Amino acid sequence: MLTIGLVNTYARARVHEAHTRSIARAAPVCHAFGFNLALFDYPFKMDASPLVEFVAGKTTIGRAGEYLRKLHADGRFYVLPLPGKGFFPQFGTVVVTTSHPESKKSVSLTRLAGEIKRRGSFLFLIGLGHRGLPERLFELAEYHLDITTKGIPLETCTAIGAVPAGISAALSSL
C-alpha cells in the first residue's frame, strides 16, 4: 500500500480554497499511479463521505471529483487528525518529502523502490502550506526523500505529481 499523506500546515481554523484544490488535484494523481490519499489535520468538520461530495461540488478538476469518488469507493481515501506519536501501522514506513533531507535519513529513488518491493506499505508526507512539514515529522520519519535530488523546493501540487510519478518510474525500472 502506497499512500500520499497531505499534511495541512496552511490554516487549521477555517477552510481555504487551497484545501479543496489540493484534494481535487491529488485524487487523479493518486488514482493514476495506484496510491491511496490520506489527509492529515485538514480543517473540515466532516467525515470522508460528505467531504468527497463537498470537494466534488466545488471543482472541475479530476472530472469534477470522479477520481476522488473512486478512491473513496475503493476504501483508499482517509481523513485523519495528525497523530502525536506515530501513524497507523497499516500505512507502513513513513517518508518525509523535502528539499533538505538529513544525510542520515536521505534515500534515493532507486533504494526506496527496492525497499517498497521488500516492505510494501509506505506513507509519503507532503506539506500543504508555506511552513512545510512540522519538524517532529522529520524526526518520526524513517526516510527523507528529495524527489528532485537537487535540493529544489517544490510547491505542494507539483510535489503531489512528482512524488508518485518518480516512485512509479523507479519501481518499473527494477
CA 53 to chain centre: 20
Task: Give 105's pLDDT tier (boundaries 50, 70, 90).
Answer: very high
Which pLDDT tens digit goes with each residue over 54-101?
A: 898 888 887 888 999 999 999 999 999 999 889 999 999 999 999 999
Q: What is the reported pLDDT for 96? A: 99
**Confidence label for 10 from pLDDT (cuts 50, 70 and 90):** confident
CA distance linking residue 87 with residue 77, whole number of Å: 15
Identify which of 5, 12, 19 has the alpha carbon closest to the alpha carbon of residue 55: 19
Taking the CA atoms of residue 107, residue 7, residue 164 and residue 149 in that order, the dihedral angle to the nearest 10 degrees is -40
C-alpha cell at 172: 518499473
| Structural domain containing residue 39 | 2-172
The count of domains in the chain is: 1
What pLDDT digit, counting tens, does each position of 22-67 carry?
999 999 999 999 999 999 999 888 899 999 998 988 888 878 889 9
* 54 touches 48 (CB < 8 A): no
Residue range 145-172, pLDDT digits in tens: 999 999 999 999 999 999 999 999 999 9
Of the CA atoms within 13 Å of residue 146, those in its CB half-sphere come to 13
Query: Where are the strands (E) in the chain, listed by range?
Result: 2-8, 36-40, 77-80, 93-97, 122-128, 143-145
| Domain CATH for 10 | 3.40.1280.10
